[in-house]
Structure 1
């Protein structure tokens, strides 16, 4: 944990207007930041001004970056944050805000601003798959299909409920697929509905990768849902929310720092709610990759 003074610091606030609360007023949060002595300059990201390009262009004129958006927005900002080394503040404006929850940043924007103003920094890990960075989790199978079908309009209108509606529809048609998992000197051959590789704790609007996972534990948590009926997955839901699914017989789970997943046909990989790459997928961990304003761990 590092403490820094905020008076006179130049903060670049990048807001995603497509985030669920991105078009609302964040004036009260900005007032809190400026009252703490931060010099805040707001820039809206969009189709013409991608968030990572904005951060790179403004890096020399700011001391920290504040991202107003959800997990997808943070995912898009990750490459520029790693390249510049700038500290990250989060104003959670998205649908699920799983990363914010993982590091105990509250959904209330003024309280989130107070955390940035307090100046406490935590160095958090990032996951990486085929060169694409992620904060929370990367998945192959069910979650990737969900990401493909859950439109921005549905997320903005229905919020977390939108996940449930679309997930139920996909669940009824889901089938197991064959995969090969290479990790820690072994290869496992599996039939699965979904393989998830987690960096943080939460994903998918409140699901938990592993009950003891943190965003700075230096490891990836992998689990594979090897259930043969959709109703079995429904029975697993309480465990998936708690992060105890690894205790079930039809769930394969293990920690690692590097894993490769191969499939018979090319399958999309969902990283923080965005489809970013395809199998074969090589995953690794980047320990302490980004300093983030957050409450003390524990």
Structure 2
């Protein structure tokens, strides 16, 4: 097979990226696999590293880190024909939950050396790509508030504290959603555009989404009281909220959203541009290394 070219975020998962990749390197050497590794040094650096790798003719590029690192690498590889792999050694690893990327180093190496290639859809929100989930509202407010706690705490605690702070200042958004020639107006707390199913480190937000079906699954959580929203959250986390009257769901390959006040977009767990936003699905945009059977 082609040489494996790794782009490693060494600080992902509070240093897990470096630790687990050291084990991966040992396994690759044991199996005689050809590989090369480079390390990102700051946010956005993986984009430059991936671009340089493509220009140098690399044909199989592996993102090592969390969802942010995966997003940076994928944004370069969309529609290039270069095969992508993922070693989910970050904190949230939301794409890996549905795509089946193993977190165990030995199983991950098995996938890289003996898995298969499957063409995964990607999405575009305004001028930026995403693989997993985009949207705005409650989830972005959680992201913003989570950043306040990451300097003090590690692991999942910043996410949990971010959720608590966001709930205490729950925003209602006045928005218009247009898709397939239909425009609908809502007052809501969350809009999620799902190519994948999870966000926020394991919230099963869009359980009906499929990374390979050529469609987004879109959710609008309509206006509701704080107490009712809190009661909905456990269902939302477990993926049991579909069919609830406050959950508006539809499937489409393209949509646009306008909001009375500009709202920042979630792009695979990172902050992106703002509304108004246009979303477009790119079917089969990335040939992805996945475990045999996925």
Output the TM-score relative to the length of structure 2. Answer: 0.92
Cα displacement string for residues 73-108 of structure 1 (whole angstroms, at most 9, x for unaligned residues): 111112211254211111111111011111111221
Give the distance between the partners of 2:246 and 2:228, measured in 1 at CA: 9
Aligned partner of 1:26 in structure 2 is 21
**Does structure 1 residue 17 correspond to structure 2 residue 7?**
no
Distance verdict in 2 for CA 1:155–1:220, change over 3 Å? farther
Distance 1:50 1:191 in 2: 38
Q: Does 1:222 align with 2:194?
A: no
Match of 1:108 in 2: 104
**CA pair 212-158 structure 1, distance change in 2 beyond 3 A:** same
Is residue 2:145 matched to residue 1:149? yes
Determine if the alignment matches structure 1 residue 54 to structure 2 residue 49: yes
Cross-structure match for 1:3? none
In structure 2, list runs of 5 or more residues that go unmatched: none
Quote how far apart the aligned CAs of 1:178 are.
0.2
Q: Which residue of 2 aligns with 1:188?
A: 184
Name which of 40, 43, 47 aligns with 2:38: 43
Give the paired residue count: 291
Kept in 2, the 8 Å contact 1:209–1:221? The answer is no
Q: Is 2:156 the partner of 1:170?
A: no
The answer (yes or no) to whether the contact 1:201–1:211 under 8 Å persists in 2 is yes
Paired residue for 2:286?
Answer: 290
Whole-Å separation in 1 of the counterparts to 2:20 and 2:111: 19
CA RMSD of superposed structures (Å): 2.1
Task: Output the CA distance in 2 between the equivalents of 1:253 and 1:178.
Answer: 17
Displacement after TM superposition at 1:47 (Å)? 2.7
Distance in 2 of aligned mates of 1:156 and 1:69: 21
Q: Write out per-residue CA displacement over residues 95-149 of structure 1, whole angstroms, 9 at most, x where no aligned residue.
A: 1101111111122122112111113111111111002111111121111112222
Cα 1:109/1:253, change in 2 over 3 Å: same
Distance 1:295 1:247, change over 3 A: same
Q: Deviations over 1:234-279 (max 9, x none)?
A: 2212331343423001111111111101011211111111111110
Contact 1:125 1:286 in 2 (8 A): yes
> Which stretch shows the higher mean deviation, 174-183 or 35-44?
35-44
